[in-house]
Amino acid sequence: MIRINEHYLKLSASYLFSTINKKVAAYEKANPGADIISMGIGDVTRALPQACIRAFHSAVDEMAADSTFRGYGPDQGYDFLREAIARSDYQARGADIAADEIFISDGAKCDTANIQELFANDIVIAVPDPVYPVYVDTNVMAGRTGAFENGRYQGLVYLESTLINGFMPALPKGKVDLIYLCFPNNPTGATATRDQLAQWVAYARDNCALILYDAAYHAFIRDDSLPQSIYEIPGARDIAIEFRSFSKTAGFTGTRCAYAVVPKTCAAWDARGNRHELHGMWNRRHTTKFNGVSYPVQRAAEAVFSEEGQRQIREINDYYLRNARLISDTMTALGYRCSGGANAPYIWIETRMDSWQFFDMLLEKANVVCTPGAGFGRCGEGFIRISAFNSYENMQAGLKRIRAVRSS
């Protein structure tokens, strides 16, 4: 008899954003013609930058002639893109990362989900709370946790991010092996200073631990004193893998391109104490299970690093940050405590009531979709996340409706 992976039974029925989509679809079915404004999932709405579009078109034209056509590309990604990333995103900021330490993929969600395959099943894992659910769910699927009780999976170490600690979790009290960090943070919008990141790097080095650093939102950092990459911290390349994406940086949510940086100095150990380079292991996994991102998409991504591309993505991301300011200012004026939004596209808002109830209220009374904080973990209860990814006009309209609900 074919049997299932029973660890899946520990998961909640559907993924957070699928649950939200289902609720919204049910509401729309019951209320045909409802004009819903999305401030929920972090999905971009602005067109791809012109520099990317031009590169995309010209790469598609290359595919149209036998002489310039390309079949399978290099599994790890084309050198032109890996070199542009290493130069612009790392070396230009003083981070010692080489092109051949970069693996091009179709998403940071997939990379952060897949990376856990490299590690033993009995390691101790620390995740922030609230947390991007992918980090947790994929470890549940792999059997690294116990049952879900009181809003938490047994066996995980939860790093609490609260109003009291400014959404910057304290270092684990005991010893953990694998640590997920995300800055600028999804969902709280918190950012880490150089000193704070240095403490995490020191912890990982002292404990032979590894940090999985999700930097998908780095392009929203406007405070130059904040690190954009963990590799800006000395010693990090021995203990951290970093994930980045063109999704939020350059509007590629529907186009798909991202990358993982696995430095050659980054290692983990087998049960006998032998050291293994994670770069080789990730290369083995990547080449076995992935056939690369399409050539035109990689050319479009490369264009992000041209002078024109950099100017255009900054303009687009400034646009979303203007939305973020509007959200933060409006919700604050309505009496809600807000954080994030200054160097991040997410605003984390204290609701002082059950976050799913608040979600339902906004959906039903304002036809606005937000993300309930409880969906990100126990510490998210009593909060919602509003995303800045929509048009300024839709933001104004959505916030006007929230104001009307609040004063009714």
Q: Which positions lie near ligand MLT, rule CB under 6 A?
A: 41-43, 109, 186
- Least distance from ligand MLT to the Cβ atom of residue 320, Å: 13
C-beta of 41: minimal distance to ligand MLT in Å?
A: 4
Closer residue to ligand MLT, CB minimum distance, 186 or 323: 186
Q: Cβ-closest residue to ligand MLT?
A: 42
Decide if 285 contacts 117 (C-beta within 8 A).
yes
Taken in order 52, 53, 56, 58, the sign of the CA dihedral is: negative
| 101 or 106: CB nearest ligand MLT | 106
How wide is the angle at C-alpha 170 spanned by C-alphas 208 and 222, nearest 5°?
A: 100
Rounded to a whole number of angstroms, the minimum distance from the CB of residue 135 to ligand MLT is 11
Q: How far apart are CA 158 and CA 52, in angstroms?
A: 40
**Residue nearer to ligand MLT on the CB measure, 41 or 123:** 41
Nearest distance in Å: CB 107, ligand MLT: 8
Task: Indicate the residue among 186 and 351 with the shorter CB distance to ligand MLT.
Answer: 186
Nearer to ligand MLT, 23 or 264 (CB): 23
CA dihedral 319, 227, 185, 191 (to 10 degrees): -90
Q: Which two tokens stand for residue 70?
A: 């390309």
Q: Which is nearer to ligand MLT, 42 or 380 (CB)?
A: 42
Looking at beta carbons only, is 48 or 108 nearer to ligand MLT? 108
Backbone angles phi, psi at 51, to 5 degrees: -60, -40
Report residue 191 as tokens. 């950012």
CB of 314 to ligand MLT, least distance (A): 20
- Closer of 203 and 252 to ligand MLT (Cβ): 252
Residue 258 DSSP SS3: strand
Q: Judge contact between 331 and 403, C-beta under 8 A.
A: no
Between CA 87 and CA 305 the distance in angstroms is 9
Strand, coil or helix: what is 260?
Answer: strand
Tell me the C-alpha distance between 271 and 280, whole Å.
18
* DSSP-assigned letters across all residues of 92-118: GGT----GGGEEEES-HHHHHHHGGGG
Q: Which residues face 213 on adjacent strands?
A: 181, 242
Our CB check for ligand MLT shows the closer of 41 and 397 to be: 41
Structure tokens at 378: 């126990």
| CB of residue 43 to ligand MLT, shortest distance in Å | 6
E-assigned strand segments in 325-382 = 338-340, 346-350, 368-369, 371-372
Q: Minimal distance in Å, beta carbon 218 to ligand MLT?
A: 14
Q: How far is the CB of 17 from ligand MLT (least distance, A)?
A: 6
Number of neighbours of residue 198 by Cβ within 10 angstroms: 18
Q: How far is the CB of 42 from ligand MLT (least distance, A)?
A: 3
